[in-house]
Amino acid sequence: MAAPPGLPVFFVLVLILLLPPPPLRAEEPAAEPADTRDAARVHSAPAPLTDVARLCVCDLLVAQCDVNCCCDPDCSAEDFSLFTTCSVPVVTGDSQLCNQKAAVYSLDVEANPPERIFKLIDQVNPSIFCIHSTNYKQALYLKSPEIPTPENFDQLLEKFGGASFRAEPDSWDLDTDAQNPPEANETSRYEYGVPVQTEDAFLRLPSPVVTSWCSDANPAGFLVNQATKCIRSVSVEKCDSIQALSMLFYINSSILAVPKSSQMVNITVQSIVVQSLNGMRTLLSSSDVLRLPMVLDDLCINAVLGVNYHITHTDTGEIIEAAAAFVLGAISKEALSIEQSFEISFTQENAEPVPLSGNPGYVVGLPVRAGFQPQGYPSPGSSNKHSQLTILQGTSTQDCLAAQGARAPVLFGYNMISGCKLRITAAMKCQPLAQTLLDVLKGQSFPEYVASFGNSQAQDVLDWVPITQLHISEQSPCQIPVSLGIEVKWTKYGSLVNPQARIVNVTATITTTTLKQLPSGRERIIPITSSVVFTDISAPAEPSYKAWPTINIKLPFDFFYPFV
């Protein structure tokens, strides 16, 4: 091959430089969080043009059901029950958008008959460059620790020299109005565990108290998520006069927005599912009808089999919404009793996403972020599901049963130990005590996942480390948990100059012990402890030498023309 005429003769000198490998994780662009509300407004994207729920690439036959085409509008529930799989499980829209809708189809083969499941989810596109706004300015920078010097010694001593100090940064609640806290007033807010008040008394969550029969005396405590099951005796002839079988009984009285207030919150009916005698469930399309139990052909229909309360509250402890979802069913004449199930859950309104704890690596002293598995992979899950890893907070009385609910955030890099004392009397029963202690140790909702980076986003599924739960117990009938040990293993990640802390493994170990029956009148005090240990498992960095750059010279083959 000859060089094109007119081009000067030149060396082609290829110098292979040994470039350092590209950074493994690009730092996220730091959008200026001028105002989180502004950020939210900017964030909203224009509505997509394609409706993915209507897009169906496997729908080939006109007005006929295509086999295994789960998005085919021509298929009926009967057709779906014969499908073996969904040939097109996910339909996504425009791949050039940061956020796109995806229609997910699957088959529930457990159901009888098998049903098609359709979900519309928001997907985050990992393959294009998107700018996300962040809400916690401090987390965008690495903080250098304060080293005591003669100048700042007095100031540090003042801050940390006492018997106790706050480890949290001053600007902890950046987004909340910390300067003007709402009037703390016994009756102007609900606190954890306080019964949710209604016009006449309190919201009841029927539960098996002594026996498995339902007792209506169990108050629902604020922020205490509960699920109960109990048995109610019924007689079909009198079914329309049994209060506990009527929807009205569960939504009749309004909830007080705050205790002793005159402001009411009505309990709305969110949904009604009707269960047939053979267990088939159908969702009623309209939920604003009250269906009262009545006798029909030796059956009692519209009897309440389950109630699911969902309470929405503000960060100042005020209830703003209450909804109930019902399962109604038929009772046959032979049945003398039915099982009812009840559930209550609390959600904070517009919960701000938990502030970041570093960017990307964790900053020592900021909370370890934790959360739950987003429902149905690859759904991003809602970011306000995510919270912090917490441990039991000791109280001045050190009484475990009083300590329920008080939690302290686990701060990255801080080994912590806390505990309380449990007074055991002869009258205490093993099973409820074991459950109470587990609640004391693990808190209301112990997370399933921990964010491996301080800035992990909910939608980055691989950025979340599952918490491994271990149990160390003896062999005996009555075991009560006495300690929870959390070990967080982390490594330094990235360049040597600016290594980033990354959590790689979290284990939570519950140790139980045998509760021996005490002779009556005697009591014993046992300590309950919880602890957090951070372990750096980075391999030490080793010095090494770069290989010398090599020079690779290639000459055009007519280089010596016209001399040769």
Ligand X SMILES: *[C@@H]1O[C@H](CO)[C@@H](O)[C@H](O)[C@H]1NC(C)=O
DSSP string, 367-406: BPEEE-PPSSTT----GGG-EE-EEEPP-TT-BHHHHTT-
Residue 243 binds ligand X (CB under 6 A): yes
Identity of the residue, 233 or 266, whose beta carbon is nearer to ligand X in the bound complex: 266
Q: Secondary structure of 190-216 in the HEC alphabet? A: CCCCCECEECCCECECCEECCCCEEEC
Identity of the residue, 246 or 491, whose beta carbon is nearer to ligand X in the bound complex: 246
Closest CA to 353 of 380, 375, 381, 386: 386
Site residues (CB under 6 A) for ligand X, limited to 363-382: none
Q: Which of 99, 382, 469, 507 binds ligand X (CB under 6 A)?
A: 507
First to last CA, the chain: 17
Q: Which of 252, 375, 425, 476 binds ligand X (CB under 6 A)?
A: 252
For tokens 């921990």, name the residue.
450
The SS3 call for residue 95 is coil
Q: How far is the CB of 502 from ligand X (least distance, A)?
A: 13
Q: How far is the CB of 247 from ligand X (least distance, A)?
A: 9
Identity of the residue, 247 or 440, whose beta carbon is nearer to ligand X in the bound complex: 247
**Which class for 366: exposed (0-12), middle (13-18), buried (19 or more C-beta within 10 A)?**
buried
Residue 466 binds ligand X (CB under 6 A): yes
Residue span binding ligand X (CB under 6 A) among the ranges 37-45, 205-213, 242-250, 393-401: 242-250
Is residue 502 a contact partner of residue 452, using CB atoms and an 8 Å limit?
A: yes
Residue 249 binds ligand X (CB under 6 A): yes
d(CA 528, CA 436): 12
Residue 197 binds ligand X (CB under 6 A): no
Is residue 431 a contact partner of residue 386, using CB atoms and an 8 Å limit?
A: no
Q: Which of 85, 266, 425, 435 binds ligand X (CB under 6 A)?
A: 266
Q: How far is the CB of 325 from ligand X (least distance, A)?
A: 18
> Which residues have C-beta within 8 Å of that of residue 557, sequence separation ≥ 6?
1
Q: How far is the CB of 306 from ligand X (least distance, A)?
A: 18
Identity of the residue, 270 or 384, whose beta carbon is nearer to ligand X in the bound complex: 270
d(CA 38, CA 113): 49
Identity of the residue, 171 or 468, whose beta carbon is nearer to ligand X in the bound complex: 468
Is residue 288 a contact partner of residue 182, using CB atoms and an 8 Å limit?
A: no
Residue 415 binds ligand X (CB under 6 A): no
Q: How far is the CB of 301 from ligand X (least distance, A)?
A: 17
Q: How far is the CB of 323 from ligand X (least distance, A)?
A: 12
Residue 535 binds ligand X (CB under 6 A): no
Q: How many alpha carbons lie under 13 Å from residue 4 in its C-beta half-sphere?
A: 2
Site residues (CB under 6 A) for ligand X, limited to 55-114: none
Q: How far is the CB of 202 from ligand X (least distance, A)?
A: 14
Residue span binding ligand X (CB under 6 A) among the ranges 78-86, 343-351, 427-435, 461-469: 461-469
Identity of the residue, 81 or 509, whose beta carbon is nearer to ligand X in the bound complex: 509
Residue span binding ligand X (CB under 6 A) among the ranges 47-55, 244-252, 277-285, 451-459: 244-252
> Residue 45 is encoded by which pair of tokens?
């994207």
Q: How far is the CB of 446 from ligand X (least distance, A)?
A: 16
Residue span binding ligand X (CB under 6 A) among the ranges 97-105, 173-181, 183-191, 378-386: 183-191
DSSP state of 243: G
Q: Which of 188, 215, 312, 538 binds ligand X (CB under 6 A)?
A: 188
Q: Which of 187, 348, 476, 517 binds ligand X (CB under 6 A)?
A: 187
d(CA 342, CA 325): 10
Residue 185 binds ligand X (CB under 6 A): yes
Identity of the residue, 136 or 464, whose beta carbon is nearer to ligand X in the bound complex: 464
Identity of the residue, 258 or 458, whose beta carbon is nearer to ligand X in the bound complex: 258
Identity of the residue, 110 or 200, whose beta carbon is nearer to ligand X in the bound complex: 200
| CA distance to 4, 492, 553, 561, per residue, from 1 (Å) | 9, 52, 18, 14
E strand or H helix that includes residue 251 = helix 247-251
Q: How big is the CA angle at 530 (ends 529 and 533), to the nearest 5 degrees?
A: 130
Q: How far is the CB of 238 from ligand X (least distance, A)?
A: 14
Identity of the residue, 204 or 492, whose beta carbon is nearer to ligand X in the bound complex: 204
d(CA 340, CA 337): 10
The SS3 call for residue 43 is helix
Closest CA to 469 of 490, 492, 438, 440: 438
Which is it for strands 550-554 and 115-124: parallel, antiparallel or unpaired?
unpaired
Q: How far is the CB of 319 from ligand X (least distance, A)?
A: 12
Q: How big is the CA angle at 429 (ends 424 and 430), to the nearest 5 degrees?
A: 90
d(CA 405, CA 193): 8
Site residues (CB under 6 A) for ligand X, limited to 486-505: 505
Start-end of H helices in 151-242: 153-160
Q: How far is the CB of 117 from ligand X (least distance, A)?
A: 29
Residue 180 binds ligand X (CB under 6 A): no
Residue span binding ligand X (CB under 6 A) among the ranges 85-93, 246-254, 405-413, 473-481: 246-254
Identity of the residue, 123 or 218, whose beta carbon is nearer to ligand X in the bound complex: 218
d(CA 261, CA 547): 76
Q: How far is the CB of 371 from ligand X (least distance, A)?
A: 15
For ligand X (CB under 6 A), the number of binding residues is: 15
Q: How far is the CB of 185 from ligand X (least distance, A)?
A: 4
Which is it for strands 299-313 and 319-332: parallel, antiparallel or unpaired?
antiparallel
Backbone angles phi, psi at 299, to 5 degrees: -120, 155
Q: Which of 42, 61, 82, 248 binds ligand X (CB under 6 A)?
A: 248
Q: Which of 134, 197, 246, 390 binds ligand X (CB under 6 A)?
A: 246
Interface residues with ligand X (CB under 6 A)? Answer: 185, 187-188, 243, 246, 248-249, 252-253, 266, 465-466, 468, 505, 507
